[in-house]
A and B are shown apart, each in its own frame.
Chain A
Amino acid sequence: DVKVTQSSRYLVKRTGEKVFLECVQDMDHENMFWYRQDPGLGLRLIYFSYDVKMKEKGDIPEGYSVSREKKERFSLILESASTNQTSMYLCASSSGPPQDTQYFGPGTRLTVL
């Protein structure tokens, strides 16, 4: 079975802190994605990556950056956390294009105070 793990289930940070969210997948998938999930808004794509060291902006990249140094690991970085970045963050991976099955991690609930 595909497994996508995220480094933390819950995280509390202060405004202005630098925040790292880590995601690891164990199925050698080419594609990895970061979404944020807010009630009534569904999932919104922040960044995605089709290959190591490759990244593309999604729909809401402002305030975020990503890093993919190894195929299995995709990191989301909040350079200076703000209260409006309080949200659930979901990582996903897929072997093919985005319309193939995406396998999601359990999510990280981030609260910025």
Chain B
Amino acid sequence: TQLLEQSPQFLSIQEGENLTVYCNSSSVFSSLQWYRQEPGEGPVLLVTVVTGGEVKKLKRLTFQFGDARKDSSLHITAAQPGDTGLYLCAGAEGYQKVTFGTGTKLQVIP
């Protein structure tokens, strides 16, 4: 089972700041997803990336898949309190299963 390490584990920033969250593994993924989980709710899919080097943007969120498909990053520009939550990456091993990362808990202070 591949291990997905996310960093940092916790992040507390002021509204308007930028931040980057990382998801790393020694294994190659066939695809990678990012989910956000708000308090008291289940995770909700934000994006799926499938091609090495791929960049996807979702408003102020930018997702990048590493060239070797072993890592990914999530960059948030001008963070807002509504971005607060737990961010989870999830890597797919072929078509069999998805392994979730360790999670990054983000708090954006107004």
Contact = CB atoms under 8 A, between A and B. Distances in A.
A97 B88 contact: no
Contacts of B110: none
B102 A40 contact: yes
Interface of B: 1, 4, 6, 9, 30-31, 33, 40-45, 48, 88, 90, 92, 95-103
Interface of A: 4, 35, 39-45, 48, 58-59, 90, 92, 97-99, 101-107
Contact of A99 (B1, B6, B95, B102): B95
A42 B101 contact: yes
A45 B97 CA distance: 9
Given A40-B102, A40-B103, A42-B100, A99 B42 contact: no
